[in-house]
Amino acid sequence: MREAEIGREIEGLLPHSGPMRLLSRLLSHTRERTICAVDVSDSELFRDADGQVPACVVVEYMAQCVAAHGVLHLELFRDRLAPSESLEVSARILQRIGRLASLQCEVRAAEGELVAEGVLSVFVPDSLPGVPAARS
C-alpha cells in the first residue's frame, strides 16, 4: 500500500455509503493488520432517543474494518460490473484452526472470467451478546 493512502477517508475502500458507512478513516495497514478510525457521532443510523449507540454496533465496525482489510488484499480484474451480469461468488476454506479460518474467495462472470480474487480470514465466535447461539 502506498503511504499516501494512510489517513485517507475510507470512502473508496468500502461499498457502504451514507449512514451505512460507519468507519471514518484508514489509520494504518500492513499485510497482517488494518486499523481504521470510527467517529461514533457519525453512527446516526443506530443512535437511540438519547443519542447513544448500542455497543453491539461494534460488530459492524469490525466487519467494515475486515472489509477494508480485504479490499486492500483483493485483486480486481475489472473496474465495473454491468447491471445485467450474473456472477458466481465462491469461498473455499484453505485452513481452519479452531475458530479461525482462511478462505480463498473468487468472483467469476460468464464463461468463468475471473473478476476478483483474494484471501479472507474470519473468526467464528461461540456466541455474540444478544444473539441466540446457532444450533448444530
pLDDT score of 3 more than 70: no
Q: What percent of the chain has pLDDT over 70?
A: 84
Strand duo 114-123 + 100-108: pairing: antiparallel
Decide which of 132 and 93 is more confident.
Answer: 93
Return d(Cα 119, Cα 104) in angstroms, integer.
Answer: 5
Look at the chain and count its residues: 136
The set of cell numbers assigned to 95 is 485452513
Measure the CA–CA gap between 118 and 73, rounded to whole angstroms.
6
pLDDT band at 1 (very low <50, low <70, confident <90, very high): very low
Q: Give the single-character DSSP code of 132.
A: P
Instruction: Quote the pTM value.
Output: 0.57
- In DSSP terms, which residues pair with 100 in a beta bridge? 97, 123
The model's confidence at residue 131, banded by pLDDT at 50, 70 and 90, is: low
Q: The C-alpha cell of 4 is what?
A: 499516501
